[in-house]
């Protein structure tokens, strides 16, 4: 095996060990499902593996991985790949509190009720802190569409019974 490939593989493995959890957390916020999040991260990492040694540092590589992850998610969503699945009788897996990376159970439930594109736009804008222009470029949609989805998504979250405070319920 070539020495350069060994170094690259070692660097890539260290990168995945250090940043894999945060990539999974972002994917989980997008998909709302543990297995789909794992699939999304694995797909993004497998698509980007061969480019690892072309980046100056891991921060630049992570931006590339995340862009690939978001575009892959949108591609899956557009192909309706997940909608062809048959639901099972058993409830979905839920992460234990120790391995739960998301901000809060109520927020996760509220996000899960949103359409996929609204959820994706909100995750990119508010959890990833990306500007509207960048979100539009990542998802290959107009900036006005991003703004519209943000507005509608935030309005839906404000009305969500999952996020209601005790004062709102009285």
For 67-100, how does the pLDDT look when each residue is reduced to its tens digit (9 = 90+)?
A: 999 989 888 777 665 555 555 565 555 544 444 4
- The two tokens of residue 115 are 């359409």
Instruction: Check for a shared fold between 1-83 and 102-163.
Output: no
How does pLDDT run across 112-135, given as a tens digit for each residue?
888 888 998 998 898 888 899 999
pTM: 0.59
**In the chain, where the domains are located:** 1-83, 102-163
The upper half-sphere exposure of residue 50, i.e. CA atoms within 13 Å in the direction of its Cβ, equals 3
Topology of domain 102-163, CATH:
Arc Repressor Mutant, subunit A (1.10.10)
Residue 163: the pLDDT is 78
Topology of domain 1-83, CATH:
Rna Polymerase Sigma Factor; Chain: A (1.10.1740)
Is the pLDDT score of 1 beyond 50?
no
What does DSSP assign to residue 52? G
**Dist CA 98 CA 85 (whole Å):** 29
Percentage, residues of the chain above pLDDT 70:
76
Q: Greater confidence, 12 or 106?
A: 12
Which CB contacts under 8 angstroms, 24+ apart, belong to 141-148? 146/121
- The two tokens of residue 29 are 């916020």
Which residue reads 């990542």 in tokens?
138
**Dist CA 93 CA 144 (whole Å):** 36
**Dist CA 77 CA 117 (whole Å):** 8
Q: Where are the alpha helices (DSSP H) in the chain?
A: 3-31, 34-48, 58-79, 105-112, 116-122, 132-139, 143-159, 166-169
């Amino acid at each position: 095996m070539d020495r350069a490939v060994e170094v690259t593989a070692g660097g890539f493995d260290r990168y995945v060990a250090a940043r894999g959890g945060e990539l999974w957390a972002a994917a989980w916020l997008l998909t709302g499902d543990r297995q789909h999040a794992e699939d999304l991260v694995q797909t993004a990492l497998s698509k980007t593996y061969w480019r690892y040694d072309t980046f100056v540092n891991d921060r630049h590589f992570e931006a590339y991985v995340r862009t690939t992850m978001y575009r892959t998610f949108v591609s899956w969503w557009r192909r309706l790949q997940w909608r062809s699945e048959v639901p099972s009788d058993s409830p979905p897996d839920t992460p234990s509190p120790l391995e739960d990376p998301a901000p809060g159970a109520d927020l996760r439930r509220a996000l899960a009720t949103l359409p996929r594109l609204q959820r994706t736009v909100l995750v990119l804008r508010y959890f990833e802190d990306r500007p509207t222009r960048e979100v539009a470029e990542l998802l290959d949609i107009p900036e006005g569409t991003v703004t519209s989805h943000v507005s509608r998504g935030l309005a839906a979250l404000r009305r969500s019974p999952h996020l209601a405070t005790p004062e709102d319920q009285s």
